[in-house]
Amino acid sequence: MSQKPFYITTPIYYVNDVPHIGHAYTTLACDMAARFARLEGRPVLFVTGTDEHGLKNAKTAQEKGRTPQEHVDLLSENFRHLCTISHISNDDFIRTTQPRHIKAAQAMWKALSDSGHIYLGKYEGWYSTRDEAYYAESEIADGKAISSGSPVEWVEEPSYFFKLSAFGDKLLSFYKANPDFIQPKSRYNEVIKFVESGLRDLSISRTTFNWGVPVPGDEAHIMYVWLDALTNYLTCVGYPDENATAYKTFWPEALHVVGKDILRFHAVYWPAFLMAAGLPLPQGIYAHGWWTKDGQKISKSLGNAIDPLQLYEIYGLDQVRYFLMREVTFGQDGDFSHTAMVSRMNGDLANDYGNLVHRVLSFLDKQLGGVLPALEPLTADDIALLNQAQIMLPHVVALMKQMGLSKVLEEIWSLVGAANRYIDAQKPWGLKVTDPARMGTILAVLVDVIRRIALLTQPIMPDASAQILDMLNVEEHDRLFAAYNTHLSSGTQLRKPICVFKKWEDPDAS
Ligand code: ME8
């Protein structure tokens, strides 16, 4: 049976911000899910990119003496670079200034307009350039948006409107029929409450600046940056060509992963636009929490941004990837601290996983020249550990379906813990003279469990896992989950072990 395709997207980031760990976090979460789905053998499309229109960019470009295009060309590279350095496996990188996207956004506008969902009016109200969002009077206090703290300004201009108010009931029945559409559950409830409180028509064009996608048929207007940006998810599958292979394969299989700050745009506006355009809705929206530093949301405007590249340099890439996904339950907020980072790096990675691999493979190398013994005869203890390893795969597959990313790692580490306890109980080191055959079986059991753990850790720590699988001489095609329940043949020559997870060393300590 062919496997269900998986389309996963990050938000497209505003180029104006220098990438910080908040951006890296969303992209890493999607990378983990995309890599996992590929290992399951599913066709995957994983897309990230940059959101390049809007007043904020136009203003900054002017301040810097650049054209808006020069400005966004320059800054978009920061996000592309972040992907490369973070070993992100994205299949595409979308930029909203690309011709393919302008074509898709204009086609979307036409679909909304042709179906009678757009009318011309005048916008009078509050707008935040920092958030690129319209706010109602009730959402403002002291000249700032209550939710984000961003300054707002009064705007009065002719504007096209989208008849969002006509979609309240349709959205509510859709949410009720698809209770997993918005995750986690607390966010689902939040969105329902918002929609139940009543939807107002949405201003979807601007006339006071021109850095955006021109409105088809009325070039005095440019499209509101969010209508433009949300359409990127369709651009990447070839829209408006609904016969494009990517469209046919991946739409509407999409899962949009976003921070909780932009949930409303994705869970309310986007489905309403799609309904109005007569297009199928994505599979789901997952809103994760915020990283904070000392309790404050990390962002450039607050001046407390943490540079992911610097973290990779200090702690190592796979260590940071692991930490970010493990430390905080996916969906909740988390506070970044050096102490927590070092504790994961030294505890979970160096002591638990690293040591397991190193002591088993070094001992095997020393005692048996790295030649893998037979996985028999098995005792009840051996079978118990092997069974635990075997059921781990269906277990984590089920957790991944809910985007339980931190939970997946927690579960894999329960197997790491079980393997370490098994060594302590079986004491293979003591058997080399008294019972070398038994020692061999214990080592074969451990190698098999390490192989499975390394298969499972590939999505989160691709490099470290590859090093471990290399040491075990696992063939490339046996690194897919389809090979999870196979075994390495006895007699396989393992490679010389190397240390994969280093401990944190304080550079100031002498
Ligand atoms: O909103 N903690 O772009 P953006 C966790 N262009 N995640 C964080 C974070 C933090 N402290 N700070 C940022 C936009 N993020 C629009 C999106 S999509 C059609 C258009 C992540 O550059 C998180 O995913 O402001 C958040 O939703 C996103 O960056 C916002 O990125």
Structure confidence by residue, pLDDT tens digits, 274-317: 999 999 999 999 999 999 887 777 876 677 889 999 999 999 99
Q: How far is the CA of 12 from the centre of ligand 1 (A)?
A: 8
Residue nearest atom 4 of ligand 1, based on CA coordinates = 13
Helix, strand and coil in the chain, % to nearest 5: 50, 15, 30
Range of lowest pLDDT (191-205, 290-304, 439-453): 290-304
pLDDT tens digits for range 41-93? 999 999 999 999 998 888 899 999 999 999 999 999 999 999 999 999 999 99
Residue 510 pLDDT more than 60? no
Task: Give the pLDDT score at 350.
Answer: 98
pLDDT tens digits for range 95-154? 999 999 999 999 999 999 999 999 999 999 899 988 888 898 889 999 899 988 899 999
- Ligand 1 pocket mutation, candidates 23, 60, 302, criterion most atoms within 8 A of CB: 23
Q: How far is the CA of 283 from the centre of ligand 1 (A)?
A: 20
Q: How far is the CA of 474 from the centre of ligand 1 (A)?
A: 38
Helix, coil or strand: residue 259 = strand
Range of lowest pLDDT (25-34, 123-132, 160-169, 335-344): 123-132
Range of lowest pLDDT (1-15, 172-186, 448-462): 1-15
Q: Is the dihedral of CA 192, 28, 345, 463 positive or negative?
A: positive
pTM of the model: 0.96
Tokens 């450039």 label which residue? 300
Question: Is ligand 1 within 6 A of the CB of residue 23?
Answer: yes
Question: Is ligand 1 within 6 A of the CB of residue 128?
Answer: no
Mean pLDDT of 375-383: 97
Question: Is ligand 1 within 6 A of the CB of residue 261?
Answer: yes
Q: How far is the CA of 37 from the centre of ligand 1 (A)?
A: 24
Determine the straight-line distance between the first and last CA of the chain, rounded to whole angstroms: 60
Q: Which atom of ligand 1 is nearest to the CA of 10?
A: 24
Q: How far is the CA of 264 from the centre of ligand 1 (A)?
A: 13
Is there a contact between 439 and 428 (Cβ–Cβ < 8 Å)? yes
Question: Is ligand 1 within 6 A of the CB of residue 230?
Answer: yes
Question: Is ligand 1 within 6 A of the CB of residue 19?
Answer: no
Range of lowest pLDDT (1-5, 52-56, 191-195): 1-5
Mean pLDDT of the chain: 95
In the structure, how many helices (H) and strands (E) does the chain have? 20, 18
Task: Give the pLDDT score at 280.
Answer: 98
Question: Is ligand 1 within 6 A of the CB of residue 25?
Answer: yes
Phi/psi for 106 (5° steps) reads -70, -35
Residue nearest atom 27 of ligand 1, based on CA coordinates = 259
Question: Is ligand 1 within 6 A of the CB of residue 26?
Answer: yes
